[in-house]
Every structure is written in C-alpha cells, then in structure tokens.
Structure 1
Amino acid sequence: MSRYGPRADRWVATHWPAIRARGRWRFVLLRGLALWGGLMFLGMAALVAFRLGLQHPRLPLVLALALPLCLFGGLVWGLLTWFFNERIFRALPTAKNNP
C-alpha cells in the first residue's frame, strides 16, 4: 500500500513533479487546449455531422462556433487542472521537503 491516501494524492505524488518541471503553460497548451479541447471538438464535430448530415448548409457555421468554444473549454480545463494538482501537491508531506 502506498503512503498516500486517495488515488488522486498517489497520482499527484508520483507523476506531478515531472509534469510540473516542464512548466504550467506547456501543460495547459498541450493537455488542456490541444488534447482536451481538440478531442472535445472532434467528438462534437462527429456528433453534429452525424445528426445534421454532411450536406447540411449550417454545418460549417456550427463547427466554426464549436471550435473556439471547445478550445476555450480546454484552456479553462488545463488551468483548473493545474491549479488543483498544485494544491494537492503542496499539501502532500513530501512536497514540504521538496519545494
């Protein structure tokens, strides 16, 4: 059994120092904007295209609106995830020994 309680604490204790060392903006841009926002856009685009059909005249408009909204959501997700992981990391007993 690990020294840490909840699963999130164990994950942050083992993985977060390496992710943290690469920097906040790399995390936010790659994991938030590109990964989360990009995958959300692709999923929404597939669902909308399936629902409306590829020949629907408003499909480009819907996709043009979805892209910035999904990317903004990914940016917010990345920033919030960074913030909460930092809080967990700083609360861990080993983080007090390794600033």
Structure 2
Amino acid sequence: MISLSSYAFVSMILFSIGVIGVIARKNIFVIYMSIELMLNGITLFLVTFARYHFNLDAQVMTVLVIAIAAAEAAIFLSVIILLFRSKKSLDTDIFTTLTQGEKS
C-alpha cells in the first residue's frame, strides 16, 4: 500500500518542476504548461489529504478546479495564438511593452 507521504512527495515534485519551468523558460507556452503542472501538484496534494482525513469536501473542490482549469486552458491557448499571430514568436523577451502599436 502506498503511504500518504509518497503522494505528498510526488505532488511536491510536480509543483517544484512547475516552479522551475516558470522561472527558467522563456517560451509562453512552456510557462503555461508549467503553471498547469503546478496546479496539478496542488490538486494531488489536496486529494491526498482529503483521502487521509476521509473527507470528500476537498475532492469536490478538486473536481471544480479541474473544470475551471479546462475553461482557463481554452482562453489561455487562444491568447497564445493571438500573441503568436501578432509577433510571430512566443519568446517572453519580445512582449515587454504595453503599447497598442509597434514602433519601428
């Protein structure tokens, strides 16, 4: 039988990999995937402790988080497509200005 600490360890590893991905990468899509990895680590941690305490409240909240993450994924991916169409790149160094037009 797998113990509580094993699940907690896996969720901490997932979250840590996500944090490293957000800090180290410059591609917007990779940063987004790292944020999703962090979210999955948190939900695994939440479900683990809900199971340990025999409480279904956290599991219901996790299902809601997964549903919201699916909607958020559709919006974020459409924003990524718009950014790519406007700049022809997904490198974060390009997106430094908040102006409407591009100055050449």
Q: Please give the TM-score of this superposition, normalised by the length of structure 2.
A: 0.41
Q: By percentage of residues, which structure has more helix?
A: 1
Choose between structure 1 and 2 for higher RCO, CA contacts under 8 A separated by at least 6 residues.
1
